Amino acid sequence: MGGDLAANLLDAGLVTPRQLESARSQGLHGSRLARALTDQGLDENALAGFFISKGFGPLLDRADLDRAQTFTTEKLPSETARELFAVPVRASAAGVIVAMADPTDQSAIRVLEETFTTGVLPTVARVSELAQALERIYPESSRWTSGAPPSDTLELSRPRKITQAVPLVRPKERAIAEPAESPAETESQSSESAAPAWPSVPVSEPAQVPATPKPSYPVFDPGPHLATIERAVDRDAVIEATCQAVAAGGRAACFIAIRKKVFRGWYGSGSGVTRDGIRSLWIPVDKACSLRDALEMQAPYSGTFGQTAADQLLRAALGGEGQLLNIVPVSVAGKTIGLLCASDWRSSSEVLTTVADAAGEALARIIKARKA
């Protein structure tokens, strides 16, 4: 990817020429540019999804930033962290994973590599959550504001080539939906050593901590939502009621229309979902992802979010915090016209299919009424 972030975002359809001109007139680049563009209306989920599609995922969310290791954050001076708008999260075998608003910022990467001599893995995070993490981890900081770009001494003498996606933040052997360590276990491990090694050394005899029970959710009753879908008088009302129904039974939901061999985000609802984030979702149907799998199988999909760029774009559009993904085809007159997606759906697949079928029937009714 070229070094002109604003131009790349313009080519992707995420910013307008006016926003591009404004950013260039201020001489901004890197994370300062990313924050300025979000202040001008660029959806931060769409921005994160853009970087994920370029191989800088998976998205580091608020929970990841809250678990940032102290002995990594302490190595980066607070003034530098605020200047680069970056938070070092944890050490890995390939280097220190650093959350950034613009993980392609070569000037910032150079400074980080000089600080962390073991190497750096730049990984994308939302602008707002980075700002909150900086205030918490470096409390002496004032509100970070955009301004003049870093001095020329931060510029790279040569570009840094990124050849593959950044590995998962969590250790490879840990399941994606595994509960976080309990406070009791964390305190037990930290008491063994006042200054953790790099990386931390496991405790020889860890305390036995009971498994964290699965959270109990209220039973989801689709009845009232199905009635709302049935009463909808136009296409948009059907899709809106359908997504709101699914969001009520999970973390978030969206409807993906299938238009001219492209998966296009149409409407979404739920935690962290924005209209711009959904509408910026544009994935060719031949791209390897869970959406393509569900379309080709013509059957519901249930599992974790995949690690392809398209899957991570979908996860970002759905708020970026979900772990589990459900997809159900929506058909009208035997033809699949879209896919209903649910993040962290907590009811059965049968209930989700019932909602999708109700949407298809309502759309068929509206089409028939128009032709009459």
Domains of the chain in sequence order: 5-150 (3.30.300.160), 223-371 (3.30.450.40)
Cα separation, 267 vs 275, whole angstroms? 7
pLDDT of residue 147: 39
Cα separation, 332 vs 335, whole angstroms? 5
Residue 337 near residue 257 (C-beta atoms within 8 A): yes
- Average pLDDT, 10 consecutive residues per value, the chain (372 residues): 70 78 76 83 84 81 89 90 91 86 89 89 91 87 40 35 39 38 44 41 43 50 92 94 94 93 92 86 87 90 85 88 92 94 90 94 92 81
pLDDT of residue 151: 38
- Provide the residue count of the chain: 372
Cα separation, 168 vs 335, whole angstroms? 37
Cα separation, 270 vs 250, whole angstroms? 8
pLDDT of residue 49: 83
Cα separation, 262 vs 120, whole angstroms? 35
The structure tokens listed for 122 are 């730049």
CB-based contacts of 285, cutoff 8 Å, min separation 6: 258, 261, 262, 263, 291, 292, 295
**Which residue shows structure tokens 């009753």?**
221
pLDDT of residue 98: 93
Residue 85 near residue 147 (C-beta atoms within 8 A): no
Report the b/e string of 198-227 with b at 16+ CB within 10 A. Answer: eeeeeeeeeeeeeeeeeeeeeebebeebbe
Q: Where are the alpha helices (DSSP H) in 232-327?
A: 235-248, 275-279, 290-297, 309-317
pLDDT of residue 199: 43
Residue 48 near residue 125 (C-beta atoms within 8 A): yes
pLDDT of residue 219: 63
The structure tokens listed for 347 are 């009811």
pLDDT of residue 270: 93
Cα separation, 52 vs 266, whole angstroms? 20
Distance of CA 238 to the CA centre of its chain: 27
Residue 234 near residue 240 (C-beta atoms within 8 A): no
Cα separation, 333 vs 324, whole angstroms? 30
Diameter of the chain measured on Cα atoms: 77
Cα separation, 242 vs 229, whole angstroms? 6
